Amino acid sequence: MNVYPVLMAGGVGTRFWPLSRKSTPKQLLNISGQGTMIQMTYRRLLPNFDPRHIFVVTNQAYADAIQAHLPELPPENFILEPLIRNTAPCISLAALHIAAHDPEGIMLALPADHIISDLKVFYEVIDQAITYVHHHNGLVTLGIPPTEPATGYGYIQAGKTVHQSNRHSVHKVRTFAEKPNLETAERFLESGDFYWNSGIFIWKANTILQEIQDKLPYMHDSFSEVQKHLNTPHYDERLREAYRHIRGISIDFGVMQYADNVFVIPAEMGWRDVGSWDTIYDISPKDKHQNVLESLEWVSIRSNNNLVYSPEKLVAMVDVDDLIVVDTGDALLICKKSSAQNVSDIADHLKKKGIEKWI
């Protein structure tokens, strides 16, 4: 039984604008001070997985930069997408490569922008998920017990327990829910059977390909042509053609919410999706006034609960609270901490205005 971790690293991370840009996507940022996001995700896997079986799916535009951050991986372990099309095409393409190499191969798909502090629990639940998939051929995801009614995450509702180990249980999934409003998130939290959707998946490569064929037949048809030309001179041409015709869709929305054989393992593993500036505020050291300050120099007078990033300038704050201020030299972001999830709207606005050089 071989397991193939797949690091999904194709997005830009527009909620981290202006630090995250097309030229420097989020997965290449050293946000925690312990290495770039993709390096941290890769290192997390090394104790338990063969490095030769670790794959990275990313956009062709990021190939050289990401390979420079992961020089240990051979070039053939990088699967390159010609266009950004969300997680369903990303997973489908990776599964094609794995299934062609190992028809019984188990795939562990992980976003490249998570922090996991309790690695012992992480390894335990991944091992349990792999064992369950090996014997039962289902689709398994990890659910994070919610600590607050967060509106920035999708949710998974757990149903009956189908397997119980000493510490962790496997549950049939009742439903997937998109990012809710606050009132709905509060109901989810009160119910006790909803978990944050970690975006980490475990399944056999052939199983997810079959589900994509059933739930997203247009995507299956496009990728069938790609599959026929794996390891041939026509592969790149067929891949570009497929990506021109498929629409971007997440694996949750396209497959998981409709599949019957979906299971969730609750996992208290110190998980954080480093998706926006408010997450950085939450995980960073703070001064006595609960400010997170990374600047050349700073003066803070009667100011509380702010995040400031301005490594090349003096920042002075007077009588301001709950702000995010990010200065990258050529761009300045100022927003309320409560609006951090909406920073991606800036990239959409810049596109509409035709000034994409700032994205």
CB 143 within 8 A of CB 198: yes
Residue with the two structure tokens 């799916």: 57
Omega into 18 within 30° of 0, i.e. cis?
yes
Domains of the chain: 3-273 (3.90.550.10), 277-342 (no CATH)
Q: What is the pLDDT of residues 314-356, one digit of tens each?
A: 999 999 999 999 999 999 999 999 999 899 999 899 989 888 8
pTM strictly above 0.85: yes
pLDDT for residue 313:
92
User: What are the φ and ψ backbone dihedral angles of 292, each rounded to 5 degrees?
Assistant: -105, 115
Angle at 314 between CA 313 and CA 319, to 5 degrees: 130
pLDDT for residue 234:
95
Parallel/antiparallel/unpaired status of strands 155-164 and 169-177: antiparallel
Count of alpha carbons within 13 Å of 186, Cβ hemisphere only? 3
Which residue stretches of the chain have pLDDT < 70?
32
Q: What is the pLDDT of residues 184-235, one digit of tens each?
A: 999 999 999 999 999 999 999 999 999 999 999 999 999 999 999 999 999 9
As a three-state string, the secondary structure of 287-317 is: CCCCCEEEEEEEEEECCECCEEEEEEEEEEE
pLDDT for residue 152:
85
Which secondary structure element, helix H or strand E, spans residue 155, and what is its range?
strand 155-164
Compute the chain's Rg from CA coordinates: 21
pLDDT for residue 93:
97
> Minimal CA–CA distance to 4: which of 70, 101, 86, 83?
101
CB 268 within 8 A of CB 118: yes
Helix (H, G, I), strand (E, B) or coil at 24: coil
How far apart are alpha carbons 273 and 276 in whole angstroms? 8
Distances (CA, A) of 356 to 15, 230, 293, 302, 348: 15, 34, 29, 37, 9
How far apart are alpha carbons 90 and 350 in whole angstroms? 26
> Minimal CA–CA distance to 197: which of 206, 205, 188?
188
pLDDT for residue 14:
87
How far apart are alpha carbons 227 and 232 in whole angstroms? 10
For the four alpha carbons of 152, 157, 161 and 162, in that order, the dihedral sign comes to negative
pLDDT for residue 99:
96
How far apart are alpha carbons 293 and 247 in whole angstroms? 41
pLDDT for residue 5:
98
